[in-house]
A and B are shown apart, each in its own frame.
Chain A
Amino acid sequence: MNASRARMIWSVVTWTIVLAVVFPLIWMIVTSVKPQSELFSIPPTLMPETITFEHYWRLLTDTPFLQYFRNSMILAVTTTVVVVVLGTLGAYSLVRFKYRGRETLATLVLFTYLMPSVVLVVPLYLMMAKLGLANTLASLVIAYTTFALPYALWLLRSFMSSIPVDLESAALVDGADRMGAFVDVILPQALPGIVSTALFTFILCWNEYLFALVLVNSDSVRPLTAGTMNMLITSFNIDWSLLMAASVMMSLPLIVIFTFLQGTLTKGFGAGAVKG
């Protein structure tokens, strides 16, 4: 009796929190399909009386939304690939090779996080301009890589240090060279770490606003965050319907990616193969 009451109370509490968290998302979706006329009706309608996709259509046909989307995609995918490649190789080196200053290097890498990114915006912009990279996607790829790489290195380092050295030795004795052992044994074992790193990097790139706002300034290279804000929020007007439709579409890739990778992230990897 008591136990079931306690369970009920817990359920109520849990659902209240869930609803509080989910409500803005629901409101975003609801608003994006309401006709303009219903948007500011008093009292507000929780469920739209008529459902319309005109905002989505307008966004896709009348605005550079698709261009921004493409830019964001290129940006996020490129950065993720660069970070994962550099991160895995770098982490492997930190774990397996012995050289002077290895530990110091690993710690220093983390120190870069202590610097607030705001103070880097202007110097970075000037540097990019000097390099002739101002207003290019490459400048953002470089900037994002510098943010994501330290995290990637640390995450992958902890993953790789948990891989038994014996596995690699076995691969070497079995006929692999070092690169072969890395590809055949280390990478599959570090896969959950690689997936988390990739996910982290992708989300960071996809949602980043400050650097996107400063480092690029033409529609042809603007990513979604900066582009959408620039296009829909002006001093005179905020186009809520379009903004919400854009937000929904911006969230889609992340939802899709999460759905696909969740399995890999949580799959019970590497358990029990090495005893001792």
Chain B
Amino acid sequence: MAEVVFEKVRKTFGSTIAVNELDLTIEEGEFVSLLGPSGCGKTTTLRMLAGLEEPSGGTIRIGDRVVNSVPPAQRDIAMVFQSYALYPHMTVGKNIAYPLKKRGIREPERSGRVMATARLLELETLLDRKPAQLSGGQQQRVALGRAMVREPQVFLLDEPLSNLDARLRAHMRAELIEVHRRIGRTMIYVTHDQLEAMTMSTRIAVMNAGVLQQFATPADIFHRPANVFVAGFIGSPAMSLVDGELTGPGSDGSDGDGRFRVHCGALDVALPAGLLNRSAAPGPISLGIRPEDILLGSGDHTAAVGLVERTGHESIVRLDAQGTPLIMRAPGDTPIEAGETVRFSLRGERLHVFDSATGRRLNADTENS
């Protein structure tokens, strides 16, 4: 059993709170990403799990063991660092062999396991080189090899792809998924890149300012963001968030069809029945609209077209709906030019409504609501 559990874990540096009351249970064999902007506490969380930082409060368990004050060497974990942290004075072979050597595994078993790992990662021909003689991608694989060779219970990866160029990153992403599938161990992956998190993870823990925002599958994170932060952070281009006023069924006396309406400046949207949960009440809200949920052509809204960014297969269009800025995604060949006025409609069932005061999502399909 190598389930990883954080219970009310806190970490403070002086008066700064890096991680606040973190509760997180990661199942055995999962690939979990800790995702968030710089300084959100994700790396600190990982380092606490590795034993490189001691939590200021709460407990961390790996399997059945509380590891709060267990030294890193005895936690049965392996870690890949953002800088790779290969030992510069050792050859690739010695780098990979180091964790085995430190655990008293003797020759010839040691060389055997190093060879097996090297073969898996296609490093056989590089074993006698020094890290400085390798390319970034090769160094990355050596770092991975050094982590894999010991077959630890839990793998920790701290932004391992951030130093690679875009093509290599896409390649290594696929390779990491493959490695995870093959060895089936728990992997915890820190990244600020939502694409990496979305494509690789079984579940994503979104963090901000030391607080866990949402812990869910990539699909849930995308389609059912728990709050305004997650909604704005996930998705590229970002979801448009517009401040407005929610009026309840019949609250203005004129609308008797039992549906909520949202008034955002000139934008007046009737929400589909049943979109919001029972706690939704008239008041200030933020309306979230994904770029792909704005449909051009017909509809009762109009907007002026601002900047149009064409990437070939799609166009990202900035709209100004009478003072309300929106971002829309359209097919690449859409004939649209800056300065035009267009009509558009919204996919009502895909709209997100957040309470302005708490930031919480008010849609009926929200978990834990």
Query: A225 at interface (Cβ–Cβ under 8 A)?
Result: no
Q: Does B89 contact A (CB under 8 A)?
A: yes
| Distance in Å: Cβ of B142 to nearest Cβ of chain A | 10
Does A169 count as interface, using CB distance less than 8 angstroms? yes
Give the size of the chain A interface in residues (CB under 8 angstroms). 25
Does B51 interact with chain A (Cβ within 8 Å)?
Answer: yes
Which residues from 165 to 205 on chain A have a C-beta closer than 8 Å to any C-beta of chain B? 166-167, 169-177, 180, 184-185, 188-189
Q: Quick check: is A269 within 8 A (CB to CB) of the other chain?
A: yes
A167-B85, A271-B132 in contact; A175/B163 too (CB < 8 A)?
no
Name the CB-closest residue of A to B73.
A175
B89 adjacent to A275 (CB under 8 Å): no
**A175 neighbours in B (Cβ, 8 Å):** 73, 98-99, 102-103, 150
Please judge, given known A-B contacts A173-B52, A271-B132, whether A166 and B81 are in contact too, CB under 8 Å. Answer: yes
Bound Cα distance A171, B136 (Å): 20
Q: Which residues of A contact B69 (CB under 8 A)?
A: none
Determine whether B77 belongs to the interface, using a CB cutoff of 8 Å to chain A.
yes
Scan B69-90; emit 1 where CB is below 8 A from any A CB, else 0: 0011100011101111111110
Contact across chains for A177 and B71 when beta carbons are under 8 A apart? yes
Chain B contacts for A164, CB-based, 8 A? 83, 85
Name which residue of chain B comes closest to A274, CB basis. Answer: B83
Cβ of B78 and Cβ of A272 under 8 Å apart? Answer: no
Residue of B nearest to A268 (CB): B132
Contact A170 to B51, CB < 8 A, known contacts A175-B102, A177-B71, A177-B73: no
List residues 54-79 of chain B with CB under 8 A from any CB of chain A: 71-73, 77-79
Contact with A along B115-154 (1 / 0, CB 8 A): 0000000000000001110001001000000100010000
Asked whether, in the complex, the Cβ of B88 is within 8 Å of the Cβ of A271, the reply is yes
- Is B88 in contact with A273, judged by CB distance below 8 angstroms? yes
Closest to A169 in B: B52
Compute how far the CA of A173 lies from the CA of B102 in the bound complex, rounded to whole angstroms. 10
Q: How far is the CA of A170 from the CA of B81 in the complex (A)?
A: 8
User: A185 with B102: in contact, given A173-B72, A175-B73, A272-B132 (CB under 8 Å)?
Assistant: no
**Cβ contacts under 8 Å, B98 to chain A:** 171, 174-175, 184
Do A172 and B89 touch (CB < 8 A)?
no
The A-B contact count (CB < 8 A) is: 93
Q: Which residues of B contact A274 (CB under 8 A)?
A: 83-86, 88
Name which residue of chain B comes closest to A270, CB basis: B88
Please state if B132 and A276 are interface contacts (CB–CB under 8 Å).
no
User: In chain B between 21 and 74, which residues have their CB closer than 8 angstroms to a CB of chain A?
Assistant: 47, 50-52, 71-73
A273 to B90, CA, bound (A): 10
Contacts of A270 in B (CB 8 A): 88-89
B71 close to A269 (CB less than 8 A): no
A271 proximity list for chain B (CB < 8 A): 88, 132
Cβ contacts under 8 Å, B88 to chain A? 167, 189, 269-274
Q: Of all chain A residues, which has the CB nearest B149?
A: A174
CA distance A66 to B338 in the complex (A): 93
Whether the pair B89, A176 counts as a contact (CB closer than 8 A) is no
A174-B99, A275-B139 as given contacts; A169 in contact with B85, CB under 8 Å: yes
The smallest beta-carbon distance between B86 and chain A, in angstroms, is 5
Q: Considering the chains assembled together, what is the distance between the CA atoms of A126 and B73 in angstroms?
A: 51
B residues in contact with A272, CB < 8 Å: 88, 131-132
1/0 per residue, CB under 8 A from B, across A146-179: the answer is 0000000000000000001011011111111100
Cross-chain contact A166 with B73 (CB below 8 angstroms): no
Asked whether A269 and B89 contact (CB < 8 A) given A173-B50, A173-B73, A177-B73, the answer is yes
Let me know if A166 and B83 touch, CB within 8 A. Answer: yes
Q: Which residues of A contact B (CB under 8 A)?
A: 164, 166-167, 169-177, 180, 184-185, 188-189, 269-276
- Supply 13 A–B pairs (Cβ within 8 Å), ascending by A: A167-B87, A167-B88, A169-B79, A169-B81, A170-B87, A173-B50, A173-B156, A184-B87, A270-B88, A273-B132, A274-B88, A275-B84, A275-B163
A173-B50, A173-B73, A175-B150 are known; give 11 further A-B pairs, CB within 8 A: A167-B85, A170-B85, A173-B78, A174-B78, A174-B102, A177-B71, A180-B102, A273-B84, A275-B163, A276-B83, A276-B163
4 pairs of A and B residues whose beta carbons are closest in the complex? A175-B102, A273-B88, A272-B132, A170-B85
